[in-house]
């Protein structure tokens, strides 16, 4: 099943556009930590997004914990898509090795990727039709403008890259884009550039300060009422949920907040 179908099915089943990011920072029992978060929040999510860096930082033990977490997730909730947050991107032979690691060894349904080296550097990912390639276009960090806003023929660089992804790279319909939540106007621009179909992974809600309602209104866009637009946003919160006193309740609230913010026509559809 393609990422898009799996994601849409899950989003409709839980009435949720919420993705919970797994960024373990505490040390100690990382697998137990992840399994606890998953068991508390799964009824309210359309996806989980483990961030490899936080597991890698704990060395072999951390990576074993990631494997155990993924094993649990696939066994208990095989219908939940898993996004590997890895931001990889390198020349072809190296990217082939990355794709084997992320898609075959870990079995992620989708991964985040860096576009700077161009299409051929990401081809080993994008050619995997059953998997999602989520290209980092516009990020939520304070210094994102430094290069992403450089003007290329009258257009910010990130918009140019997004347009290339949408118009040239996405021939298999399995490309998505990372568009940060902290700048809703950019999310609106992004939706306009790619049309209603492409899935955006939107990090930066919660701990990084992105406003939920603004994000939903800007990102889902005008065609929110049709089925194809539903599921085209994956709104990620990591520490905002996992560090809260009651992750289950926090996830449910954020799921509902996202739901409330979607245009009326969307809410009227049976799910």
Cα–Cα distance for residue pair 32/58, rounded to 1 Å: 14
Residue 161 within binding range of a second copy, rule CB under 8 A: yes
Q: Is the dihedral of CA 176, 178, 181, 182 positive or negative?
A: negative
Please identify which of the residues 6, 49, 87, 131 carries the catalytic annotation: 87
How many C-beta atoms surround the C-beta of residue 252 within 10 A? 18
Q: Is 87 a catalytic site residue?
A: yes
According to CB under 8 A, which one of 9, 15, 39, 64 is a site residue for a second copy? 64
Residue 143 within binding range of a second copy, rule CB under 8 A: yes
Q: Could you tell me the smallest distance in angstroms from the CB atom of residue 9 to a second copy?
A: 29
According to CB under 8 A, which one of 100, 192, 267, 269 is a site residue for a second copy? 100
Cα–Cα distance for residue pair 18/231, rounded to 1 Å: 10
According to CB under 8 A, which one of 89, 184, 206, 240 is a site residue for a second copy? 89
CA-to-CA separations, 48 to 9, 69, 180, 212, in angstroms, rounded: 14, 11, 17, 18
Nearest alpha carbon to residue 119 among 83, 167, 85: 167
Cα–Cα distance for residue pair 252/33, rounded to 1 Å: 19
Residue 147 within binding range of a second copy, rule CB under 8 A: yes
According to CB under 8 A, which one of 15, 90, 197, 211 is a site residue for a second copy? 90
Binding site for a second copy (CB under 8 A): 23, 25, 51, 53-54, 56-57, 59-60, 63-64, 67, 85, 87-95, 97-98, 100-101, 105, 114-121, 136, 139-148, 150-153, 157, 160-161, 164
Residues noted as catalytic: 87
């Amino acid at each position: 099943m393609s990422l898009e179908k799996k994601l849409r099915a899950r989003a409709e089943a839980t009435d949720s556009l919420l993705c919970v990011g797994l960024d373990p920072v505490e040390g100690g029992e990382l697998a137990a930590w992840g399994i606890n978060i998953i068991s508390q929040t799964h009824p309210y999510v359309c996806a989980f997004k483990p961030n490899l860096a936080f597991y890698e930082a704990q060395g072999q033990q951390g990576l074993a914990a990631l494997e155990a977490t993924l094993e649990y997730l696939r066994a208990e909730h095989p219908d939940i898509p898993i996004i590997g947050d890895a931001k990889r991107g390198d020349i072809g032979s190296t990217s082939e090795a990355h794709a084997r690691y992320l898609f075959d060894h870990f079995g992620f349904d989708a991964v985040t990727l860096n576009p700077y080296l161009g299409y051929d550097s990401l081809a080993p990912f994008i050619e995997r039709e059953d998997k999602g390639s989520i290209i980092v276009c516009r990020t939520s960090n304070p210094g994102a403008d430094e290069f992403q806003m450089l003007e290329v023929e009258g257009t910010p660089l990130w918009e140019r890259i997004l347009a290339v992804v949408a118009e040239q790279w996405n021939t298999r319909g399995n490309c998505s884009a990372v568009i940060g939540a902290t700048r809703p106007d950019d999310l609106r621009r992004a939706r306009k550039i790619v049309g209603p179909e492409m899935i955006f992974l939107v990090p930066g809600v919660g701990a990084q300060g992105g406003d939920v309602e603004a994000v939903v209104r800007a990102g889902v866009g005008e065609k929110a009422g049709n089925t194809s637009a539903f599921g085209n946003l994956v709104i990620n919160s990591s520490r905002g949920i996992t560090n809260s006193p009651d992750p289950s309740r926090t996830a449910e609230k954020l799921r509902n907040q996202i739901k409330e913010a979607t245009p009326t026509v969307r809410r009227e559809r049976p799910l």
